Amino acid sequence: MKIAVLPGDGIGTEITAEAVKVLRSLDLKFEMETALVGGAAYDAHGHPLPAATLKLAQQADAVLFGAVGDWKYDKLDRPLRPEQAILGLRKNLGLFANFRPAICYEQLVGASSLKPELIAGLDILIIRELTGDIYFGQPRGRRTAVDGHFPDSEEAFDTMRYSRPEIERIAHVAFQAARKRSKRVTSVDKANVLETSQLWRDVVTGIGKQYPDVALDHMYVDNAAMQLVRAPKMFDVIVTGNLFGDILSDEAAMLTGSIGMLPSASLNAGNQGLYEPSHGSAPDIAGKGIANPLATILSAAMMLRFSLDQPEAADRIESAVKDVLASGLRTADIHSVGTKRVGTREMGDAVVASLTHKTTKS
Ligand code: IPM
Ligand code: MG
């Protein structure tokens, strides 16, 4: 089992170190190789996704990714910005299926900005299509307008685009995931306005006929954004396109009160995957040793389950995280009165201690 470890920028290095520590504490043999990505790679090699890093990722069974980005790269040309590294990895590895669970941990109910009764027990899975849509559609660019309301003025344009097979494969992923849960899929689109969304709705409806045991409904994205804060527990699996999924998954993450807790998985057709926390590089707290490593540790658990065929090890990590929370340890982002505030490293150590303690006992 080969894991490419790409820590990236900001808190990326600190949180990935803890996830690596947790992986090493399991009685499993991994080959792990680390490479630069994002701003760190740009500084060292002049490109956010150097060829050697891409090759390492392609050859690995799974990629453990930290986070990329920092304000200091904002002025670079777009192809050189740190974000291009993650987009390039998604595209080059064909990672079209993005799983973003939003789970509200019992001990963290109070950390959400929503009323506890709205989010207690919340367990939603957002499945976001990740290699199509307006993110990658061509043509795009800037030019001088020839028509429209303001001819001869500067304009910019992007292309929202989806093909039938792209929608079919993500729809299958969503229905199959729903079968393992409470068998409900909500497909989110903007079919009242957009052609891409009308095709999306038609195709998802068609694929849904192959899954008669799964209930399918459709929702416009504006309404979905509203329902997510009104009554989030109405959802089980949400399947949506790249742009809507980007926005709704941040919204859903915040329902749980703690984006620092949420892992994600991005898979291709061969189950090769990239695993990263749902949060970003948080340059404002980088280097302070206070970032929450749990989202990355939980991403490592998803990696064991989805790409490395080690579901038991994944369960063990997830239950160790719950134990650590139950014992009252909290990083700054989830800290509240009556709990013990710890740093990044102490949190990682506590997960390892819980894991190894259990091994000894059993
Ligand atoms: C995400 C991020 C990325 C995205 C950025 C960093 C390119 O927001 O993974 O959600 O827009 O997909
Ligand atoms: Mg995002």
At 160, the amino acid letter reads M
User: Of all protein residues, whose CA lies closest to atom 6 belonging to ligand 1?
Assistant: 83
What gap in Å lies between CA 40 and CA 287, rounded to an integer? 14
Looking at 3.30.1490.20, 1.10.1270.20, 3.40.718.10, 3.40.50.300, the CATH number of the domain 1-96+268-362 comes to 3.40.718.10
3-state class of 13 per DSSP? helix
pLDDT score, position 104: 92
Determine the length of the chain: 362
Identify whether 288 is a catalytic site residue.
no
Strands 215-220 and 184-189: parallel
Identify whether 189 is a catalytic site residue.
no
Atom index in ligand 1 nearest the CA of residue 264 equals 9
User: Of all protein residues, whose CA lies closest to atom 4 belonging to ligand 1?
Assistant: 246
Q: What is the dotted CATH code of the domain comprising 101-257?
A: 3.40.718.10
H or E element in which residue 295 lies:
helix 294-306
User: Of all protein residues, whose CA lies closest to atom 7 belonging to ligand 1?
Assistant: 83
Strands (DSSP E) found in the chain: 2-8, 31-34, 62-67, 97-103, 123-129, 141-144, 154-157, 184-189, 215-220, 237-240, 263-267, 273-277, 329-330, 340-341
- Examine domains 1-96+268-362 and 101-257 and report if their fold is the same: yes
Positions in the chain short of pLDDT 70: 358-362
pLDDT score, position 361: 47
At 89, the amino acid letter reads L
Identify whether 190 is a catalytic site residue.
yes
**Reported pTM:** 0.94
Ligand 2 midpoint to CA 148 (Å): 31
Atom index in ligand 1 nearest the CA of residue 276 equals 9
Strands 154-157 and 141-144: antiparallel
Q: Is 323 in the pocket of ligand 1 (CB under 6 A)?
A: no
Q: Give domain limits for the chain.
A: 1-96+268-362, 101-257
Among the options 135, 162, 211, 275, which is catalytic? Answer: 135
